[in-house]
Amino acid sequence: MRIGLAVLGVLVLLAGAVFAGQGLGYIPGSYMTGDIKWFWIGSAMVVAGLVLGAFGLRRTTRRT
């Protein structure tokens, strides 16, 4: 479960980075290119991906 959450976090982070790059015009070839709205959506996805990845990779302590 934790590994799946970390993988999902990485995928969301990468997709968000692509969206942000397209929104800023760094990645051409889409209707999102140059539209600042997609930069903000991508930025939110990057943050969400970081949070998911952090929850997936955090260490859990076992109580005995």
- Domain-embedded: residue 62: no
Q: Cα torsion for 46, 52, 58, 64, to the nearest 10°?
A: 170
Count of domains for the chain: 1
List, run by run, the mean pLDDT of 10-residue segments along the chain (64 residues): 90 96 91 92 97 86 68
- Return the pLDDT at 22: 94
Domain that holds residue 13: 2-57
pLDDT of residue 57: 87
pLDDT value of residue 64: 66
**Residue 30 has which token pair?**
């889409």
Say what the pTM is: 0.84
Asked if residue 64 belongs to a domain, the reply is no
Distance CA 27, CA 53 (A): 25
Task: Enter the DSSP assignment of 60.
Answer: -
Alpha helices in the chain (DSSP H): 2-23, 36-57
Residue 47 lies in a domain: yes
Residue 23 covered by a domain: yes
Asked if the structure places residue 63 within a domain, the reply is: no
